[in-house]
Amino acid sequence: MNESEKVRKAIKSATPRFLITYDKKGDYDYRDLYTLLEKWHAQEVLESVWMVRMGATVESIFNTLKREGLDADDGILVIQVDNAPLASDNTNRDPKRI
């Protein structure tokens, strides 16, 4: 591994990782939500379950999603998972690589 790859890996591991999951109720218009998640470069690992690495807090992600991506009656859960142990199978993306 060359020096720039080591730096990229160090930056990635230092950037917080979050799990975002939601339950749309009533109006199933996902456009605003998907636009926001794509802007953040979030990765969909399962249906309605996304992971993202970004320099943010749980509260700021939660508040932005509630304000810009979801309706008032939609359910949402945001968890900072960083380097927590995880196991997965048959996912859309490998969460260990996010």
pTM of the model: 0.83
Crossing angle of helices 58-68 and 31-39, rounded to 10°: 150
Q: What is the pLDDT of residues 42-54, one digit of tens each?
A: 999 999 999 999 9
Asked whether residue 4 is domain-assigned, the answer is no
Asked whether residue 62 is domain-assigned, the answer is yes
**Number of domains into which the chain is organized:** 1
Separation of alpha carbons 78 and 59, rounded Å: 8
Burial class (CB in 10 A: 0-12, 13-18, 19+), 50: buried
Q: How many other CB atoms sit within 10 Å of the CB of residue 59?
A: 9
Q: What is the pLDDT of residues 37-85, one digit of tens each?
A: 999 999 999 999 999 999 999 999 999 999 998 988 899 999 999 888 8
| Domain enclosing residue 63, as ranges | 16-97
H helix or E strand, kind and range, residue 18: strand 17-23
